[in-house]
Chain A
Amino acid sequence: GAGVSQTPSNKVTEKGKYVELRCDPISGHTALYWYRQSLGQGPEFLIYFQGTGAADDSGLPNDRFFAVRPEGSVSTLKIQRTERGDSAVYLCASSLTGTGSHEQYFGPGTRLTVT
Chain B
Amino acid sequence: AQKITQTQPGMFVQEKEAVTLDCTYDTSDPSYGLFWYKQPSSGEMIFLIYQGSYDQQNATEGRYSLNFQKARKSANLVISASQLGDSAMYFCAMRGYKAAGNKLTFGGGTRVLVKP
Binds A, one of B11-19, B63-71, B74-82, B100-108: B100-108
Q: Of A33, A41, A100, which is within 8 A of B108 by CB? A: A41
Q: A101-B33, A101-B52 are contacts. A89–B43 as well, Cβ < 8 Å?
A: yes
B44: which A residues are within 8 A, CB to CB?
106-109
Please give the distance in Å from A4's CB to the nearest CB on chain B.
9
Q: Are B45 and A93 in contact (CB under 8 A)?
A: yes
Q: Are A42 and B42 in contact (CB under 8 A)?
A: no
B101: which A residues are within 8 A, CB to CB?
48, 55-56, 58
Q: Measured between alpha carbons, how far is A115 from B101 in the docked complex, in Å?
A: 35
Q: Of B33, B46, B47, B106, which is within 8 A of A43 by CB? A: B106
**Total number of residue pairs linking A and B with CB closer than 8 Å:** 62
Size range of the interface on B?
20 to 34
B47 (CB) vs chain A CBs: closest residue: A103
Q: A103-B35, A108-B42 are contacts. A55–B102 as well, Cβ < 8 Å?
A: yes
User: What are some 18 contacts across the A-B interface (CB < 8 A)?
Assistant: A31-B102, A35-B104, A41-B109, A43-B104, A45-B105, A48-B101, A56-B103, A91-B45, A99-B102, A100-B97, A101-B52, A103-B50, A104-B104, A105-B47, A106-B46, A108-B43, A108-B44, A109-B43
Q: Which residues of B contact A (CB under 8 A)?
A: 4, 33, 35, 37, 42-47, 50, 52, 91, 93, 97, 101-109
Beyond known contacts A42-B91, A108-B43: 19 more, CB 8 A cutoff = A33-B103, A42-B93, A42-B106, A42-B109, A43-B91, A45-B105, A48-B102, A58-B101, A59-B103, A91-B45, A93-B45, A98-B102, A99-B102, A100-B97, A101-B33, A104-B47, A106-B44, A108-B42, A109-B44
